[in-house]
Amino acid sequence: MACCTFNSFPLYFHPMKSLQLLLFLVCGSLLGCSASATNSTPLATPTPAILVFYKTAGFKHESIPVGRAAIQKLGQENGIKVDTTVNASAFTVDNLKQYDAVVFLSTTQDVLNDAQQAAFEQYIRSGKGFVGIHAATDTEYGWPWYNRLVGAYFSSHPAIQPAIIRVTNKTHSATSFLPDAWPRTDEWYNFKNIQPTITVLATLDESSYSGGTNGATHPIAWHHEFDGGRAFYTAGGHTNESYQEPLFLRHLLGGIQYAIGKRK
């Protein structure tokens, strides 16, 4: 035991007790730090973002503004940031990085130049998503990579009329809630160059309308993983009324959520 004097009074320091005091102070400090870390505010989850692209170099659908507004509303209601553009100059490597998915809303014909196509290919290969709506299959016929991404090319269509969609896959976020037989009125596309890699979610019952040419397995909505990314396509959306249908909007939302990697 050590001893010293202070103002003539002896002070004693017990080595064991001093060590215990030191350990107590150290533990208290560590516990305080742990509590502080536990009570700290968690990092916010980044808001997913999508870019809606609606450039047309052929037929321009009058439903595009209605569809654009509907997707913006879906974004507001479901925590998704939505930017829209008709300008193909948005397709650069640096600009596309900020988006989790790109939506082609009834685009038509040749909408991207070679450099923009290369940037978009790199974007998908980085693990991002794509959503094609209606005339997205009437786009970029001279770009084989895009054919594989979107899943098929538009071939023809009859007049707008009612038909029955047969929902064949209910494991996907775009179809899990739909009835087995889904009656809708729209402009029904026939397709060519249908890619074998797509997973069909719904088919068109050609006996329920006139003008179908794809037969008993006429695809009308599908998805697949492609070139490192994800792609979803729905052929609906020609009419303004499509974007006021609760089931179609939910179908579209499910496709977007799949493309951004939020749901399957």
Domain parsing of the chain, residue ranges: 49-259
Angle in degrees, CA 70, 62, 176, rounded to 5 = 40
Q: How far apart are CA 167 and CA 183, in angstroms?
A: 11
Helix (H) / strand (E) element for 113: namely: none
Residue 114's alpha-carbon distances to 120, 121, 143, in angstroms, are: 10, 11, 10
List, in sequence order, every residue forming a beta bridge with 108; answer none if it has no partner.
56
- pLDDT attached to residue 45: 76
Query: Among 139, 170, 163, which residue's Cα sits nearest to residue 153?
Result: 139
Nearest to 238 by CA among 85, 88, 110, 136: 136
pLDDT at 141: 98
Query: How far apart are the C-alpha atoms of 124 and 2, rounded to whole Å?
Result: 74
Tokens of 161: 């009329």
Residues 238 and 255: their CA atoms lie apart, in Å, by 17
State the Cα torsion 25-31-35-36 to the nearest 10°.
50
Burial-class residue 141 by CB neighbours within 10 Å (0-12, 13-18, 19+): middle
10-residue block means of pLDDT along the chain (264 residues)?
Answer: 44 47 45 44 80 98 98 98 98 98 98 98 98 98 98 98 98 98 98 98 98 98 98 98 98 98 78
Tell me the one-letter amino acid at 26.
V
Looking at residue 89, what DSSP letter applies? G
Cβ–Cβ under 8 Å, residues 40 and 72: no
Q: Residue 103: CA atoms inside 13 Å, Cβ hemisphere, count?
A: 30
Rounded Cα gap, residues 129 and 182, in angstroms: 26
Length reported for the chain: 264
pTM of the entire predicted model? 0.84
Q: Is 107 helix (H, G, I), strand (E, B) or coil?
A: coil
Distance between CA atoms of residues 84 and 74, nearest Å: 13
- Residue 161, phi then psi, degrees to nearest 5: -165, 165
CATH 3.40.50.880 for domain 49-259: yes
